[in-house]
Amino acid sequence: MPSLLLEIGCEELPAAACREAERQLPELARAHVGAEPSEIFVGPRRIGFLIEDLPARTDDEWVKGPPESLREQAAAGFAKKHGVGVDQLEARDGFLGVTLPGRELVDVLPEQLDRVLRGFSFGKTMRWDESGLRFARPVRWMLAKLDAQTILGETSFGHRFTHGLVEIPDAHEYADALRAVDVEPVAAERRRLIVEQLDAIGGWSDPGGKLDEVVHLVEKGSVLAGRFDERFLQLPERVVVTTMQSHQRYFPLGGNRFAVVTNGGEPETVRAGHTQVLEARLEDATFTFERDVAVGIDALAERLGSITFFGGAGSFAEKADRVQRLAGRLGGGDASNEAARLAKADQASELVREFPDLEGYIGAEYARLAGYPEAVTKAIEEQYLPDSAGGPLPETEPGKVLAAADKLDTLRVSFELGHKPSGSRDPYGLRRAAIGLNRLAVEGGLTIERELLPDEVRDFVEERLESLLEVPVEYVRAARASNVPDLGGLARRAEELYRERDSSAFDGVYTAYDRAHRLAGRARDEAATSLDRGLLVEDAEKALAEALAKVAIDGNGDLEASLESGAQLAPLMERFFDEVLVMDEDAAVRANRLRLLLDVRDTLGALGDFSQIPR
C-alpha cells in the first residue's frame, strides 16, 4: 500500500504557529485523509506529514435512500441525484440505496489535501494574495507525493541560501533528502541536535525558556559559543542574562560566555557578528542601568504617581500606599514598611520598561546601591514570590509580609473592579496570587487575618486551599465555616478535624451538632432571637442550657481540648431528645427550645461546619 507525503511550504512561520501546526496535523490527517500520520514535519519553512500504507482506493460507500415502500414516489429522484438508473438501486433492510464505488486515491487526494491546508487554526492569520487564503504566513509551495508519484507541486526546497530546489524521489525519502540540504524537518530531532551541541559546549542554561522558540527559528541549527567583553560583568548578572535571552535568544554559559543557535553562515563571521550585537545590547543596558542608578530608587518611587497599575486601579503610587498599609496590618515592621514604599519604584525605571521580567530584582539592586539595609532590599526582591505553584517562598519575614500584602492588594482591587477570573482567562494572575497567599500562610507561617479579605476574595482564596491541602475537601469546607481568624489557622483546623475524625470527642461533638442542626437548622425563622432561661421547663433542657454555658470552645486554640469540652454536650443532648418535645404547643416554649438547639449548634460550629462532613 502506498505512502503519502505532504509538505506545505511557507515563508518563515512564527514558533507559536509551528507549535499549533504540530498539534493539529495528526487530527487534520485523520479528519481529511482518514489515516494516522507516522511522522510529523514542522519547521520555520515547512509543515507536513508522512502517512504510511494508505489504501490505494477509497472504500465503496453504501448510500441509504428512501424506504422501499416509497419506491413509486421517491426512487427516481434519489437515483437521479446519484447519477444512476432506478433499476440500479439495491434494496437493503427495507431501504433502497446505491453503492458508490471507491475512488482512486490519486483522484481524491488533491481535494483532501486542500481541506488539510484550509483546516489549520492559527492564533493569528493573514492574507497575502488574491486567493484570500488565510494562514500564519504566506504559503509558497505545496508538495504531495504518493510513493514516487507526484500528486501536488513539483519539488521541495532546501536551506534558503545554501540550497535551492530539491527533488524528492519518493515519499519515504523526504526527510533524508532534506537532511542532505541543511534542513532537519522533524522538530524533535532538531531540538535533540541543538541540545546535543549545547551539552557538548557545556554549562548552558535557559532561565527564560527560549529553547522552544529557538527550535523553530532555524531549519537545522548549528550552535556557536562566543565571549563578550568582561567589563559587562559589572552589570547585575540577571541584567546580563536577560539581555542575552530576551532579544537575542542566546543561552548563557556562565561568566562572559554565551551560546547562539544559528541558521547557517561562516562560523567565524557569524560568531563575530553575534558578539558585536550582544556587546551593543549590553552597552545599551549599561547606559540604561546607569541612568536609573543616577536617578536613584527614591526619586523613581516619587514618579509612580504617573504610572497606572491597571485600568481603574489607580497609579502605582496608590498601590504602594495600599500595600504599605496592608503590610502594617500583616504585622510587618519597619523593614516591610520601607520595602513596601520602595517595592514598586522599579516600575518607573527604564530597565523594567525594557525588560519587564526584571521587576523586583532590579528594584532591590537599586535599593542596595542607594544603601538600604539587606532586610529591605531582600524583601523588595522577594515580593513576587512564590511566582509559580511549586516555586520557592520568600526567605525573610519582611519578604513574606510584602509578598502577601502585594497579592492581597491585587486580589482586593481586581475583585472590586469585577475582574474575576473566568475559565482559562485570568489576566491579572489572581489564581496564582490566591495560591501564593495560602502558601505564605500555610508553609510560610505568616499570620494572615481572614478579616483582611472581603467576602468574595475570601471565598476565592479559601477555595484554593481545598486543592492545596492533603485533606478531603469536606474538612476544608467545614473548617472554613469555623471562627478561626487566620488563613494558616484555617488550614490547621481542617487538618486537625481530619486527624480527630475517629476520636470519641469528635464523635460526641459531631452527633450533638448534627442532631441540633437537623432539627433546628431549618426552623431558624421560628426560633426565639435569644434564650430565655425563664421559659425552660423540663429538667433535661435546663441541664443542657447549663452545660452549654460551661462549654469552652477556643476557636483559635487547641482543637482536642475544645472537642473534649464540646463533647460534654452529647449525653445531655441525648437526654434532651429523649425527654423533651421541642415542638411544644406553646409557641413561646417551642421558640425557646429551638433557640437552645441553635445555640448548641452555633457554639460547636465555632469549630467548623460539621454538616459538611459526610458520615
Partner 1 sequence: MIIALEGYWAGQGCVLAQPYHTELAAGTMSPNTFIRCLGPKAWKIAYVEPVIRPLDGRYGENPFRFQHYFQYQVILKPAPENVLDLYWASLEALGIDLKQHDMRLVEDDWEQPTLGAWGLGWEVWCDGMEITQWTYFQQLGGIDVDLVPAEMTYGLERLAMFLQGKRTAFELEWAPGVTWGDVYREAERQWSKYNFEEAPVDVLTRRFDEHEAECMQLLERGLPIPAYDQVLKASHTFNLLDARGAISVTERAVYIGRVRNLARAVAKAHVEAEREAEDSAVAAA
11 or 451, CB closer to partner 1? Answer: 11
C-alpha cell of residue 243: 539581555
CB of 12 to partner 1, least distance (A): 4
The residue among 124 and 524 lying less far from partner 1, judged by its C-beta, is 124
Rounded Cα–Cα distance for residues 242 and 251 (Å): 10
- CA 608, 611, 612, 615 torsion-angle sign: positive
From residue 254 to residue 273, the character string flagging contacts with partner 1 as x (rule: CB under 8 A) and all else as - is ------x-xxxxx--xx-xx
How near is the Cβ of 278 to partner 1 at its closest, in Å? 7
**Whole-angstrom distance, CA of residue 602 vs CA of residue 483:** 10
Binding mask 201-240 for partner 1 (x = CB under 8 A): ----------------xx----------------------
Q: Which stretch binds partner 1 (CB under 8 A): 62-70, 136-144, 369-377, 580-588?
A: 136-144
Helix (H, G, I), strand (E, B) or coil at 131: coil
In the region spanning residues 431 to 490, those forming contacts with partner 1, defined by CB under 8 A, are none
Q: How many residues bind partner 1 (CB under 8 A)?
A: 45
CB-nearer residue toward partner 1: 275 or 612: 275
The nearest distance, CB 126 to partner 1, in angstroms, is 4
Taking CB under 8 A as the rule, does residue 160 contact partner 1? yes
Q: Could you tell me the smallest distance in angstroms from the CB atom of residue 141 to partner 1? A: 10
Which residues partner with 90 through β-bridges?
A: 97
- Closer of 53 and 154 to partner 1 (Cβ): 154
Residue 18 DSSP code = H
Q: Return contacts of 572-579, CB within 8 angstroms, 24+ apart.
A: 572/540, 572/543, 572/544, 572/547, 573/511, 573/512, 573/515, 573/516, 573/544, 573/600, 575/540, 575/543, 575/544, 576/540, 576/541, 576/543, 576/544, 577/515, 578/540, 579/538, 579/539, 579/540
Q: What is the largest CA-CA distance in the chain?
A: 103
CA 394-395-396 angle, to 5 degrees, is: 100
- Nearest approach in angstroms of CB 208 to partner 1 is 15
Query: 404: exposed, middle or buried (C-beta count within 10 Å: 0-12, 13-18, 19+)?
Result: buried
Residue 147 in contact with partner 1, rule: CB under 8 A: no
**Separation of alpha carbons 330 and 487, rounded Å:** 12
Q: Pick out residues in 280-319 that bind partner 1 (CB under 8 A).
A: 280, 283-284, 287-288, 306-308
Kindly tell me which of 5 and 187 has the beta carbon lying closer to partner 1: 187
CB of 274 to partner 1, least distance (A): 4
Judged by CB under 8 A, the residue of 69, 276, 388, 504 near partner 1 is 276
**Site for partner 1 contains 248 (CB under 8 A):** yes
Q: Which is nearer to partner 1, 17 or 339 (CB)?
A: 17
Least Å distance, CB 1 to partner 1, is: 36
Q: Are 342 and 317 in contact (CB under 8 A)?
A: no
Least Å distance, CB 7 to partner 1, is 17
Cα gap 564→512, rounded to integer Å: 13
Q: Which is nearer to partner 1, 136 or 591 (CB)?
A: 136
| Separation between Cα atoms, residue 19 and residue 21, nearest integer Å | 5
Closest approach, Cβ 276 to partner 1, in A, equals 6
Residue with cell 509538505: 7
Q: Point out which span in 57-65, 127-135, 411-419, 476-484 binds partner 1 (CB under 8 A).
A: 127-135
Q: Which is nearer to partner 1, 283 or 584 (CB)?
A: 283
Query: Closer to partner 1 at the Cβ: 270 or 543?
Result: 270
Instruction: Select from 279, 302, 507, 602 the one that contacts partner 1 (CB under 8 A).
Output: 279
Please give the C-alpha separations between residue 198 and each of 142, 202, 269, in angstroms, as whole numbers. 34, 6, 20
- For 238-326, list the strands marked E by DSSP: 251-252, 257-262
Q: How far is the CB of 137 from partner 1 (least distance, A)?
A: 7
315's torsion region: left (phi>0), alpha (psi -120 to 50) or beta?
A: beta
Name residues contacting partner 1, limited to 350-389 (CB under 8 A): none
Residue span binding partner 1 (CB under 8 A) among the ranges 67-75, 277-285, 329-337, 571-579 = 277-285
Other C-beta atoms lying within 10 Å of the C-beta of residue 440? 26
Nearer to partner 1, 3 or 242 (CB): 242
Binding partner 1 by CB under 8 A: which of 81, 92, 115, 140?
Answer: 140
Instruction: In whole angstroms, give the CA distance from residue 565 to residue 34.
Output: 70
By CB under 8 A, tell whether 598 contacts partner 1: no
**For partner 1, the closer CB: 198 or 278:** 278
Residue window 494-533: x/- pattern of binding to partner 1, with contact defined by CB under 8 A: ----------------------------------------
In angstroms, what is the minimal distance from the CB of 559 to partner 1? 50
Q: Which of 76, 232, 174, 90 is nearest to 241 (CA)?
A: 232
Single out the residue of 156, 137, 188, 127 nearest to residue 7, CA to CA. Answer: 156
| SS3 letters across 222-238 | EEEEEECCHHHHHCCHH
Binding region for partner 1 (CB under 8 A) out of 158-166, 203-211, 362-370, 413-421: 158-166
End-to-end CA separation in angstroms for the chain? 62
In the bound complex, what is the minimum distance in angstroms from residue 158's beta carbon to partner 1?
A: 13
Residue 170 makes contact with partner 1 by CB under 8 A:
no
Residues 15-44 that bind partner 1 (CB under 8 A): 15-16, 44
φ, ψ (nearest 5 deg) of residue 212:
-55, -35
Helices vs strands, H then E, count in the chain: 24, 13
Query: What's the CA gap between 96 and 103, in Å, rounded?
Result: 22
CB of 324 to partner 1, least distance (A): 22
Question: Whole-number minimum distance, CB 181 to partner 1, in Å?
Answer: 13
Tell me whether residue 270 or residue 537 sits nearer to partner 1 (CB atom): 270
Strands 257-262 and 251-252, how do they pair?
A: antiparallel
The contact set with partner 1 (CB under 8 A) reads: 11-12, 14-16, 44, 124, 126-130, 136-138, 140, 160-162, 217-218, 248, 260, 262-266, 269-270, 272-274, 276-280, 283-284, 287-288, 306-308
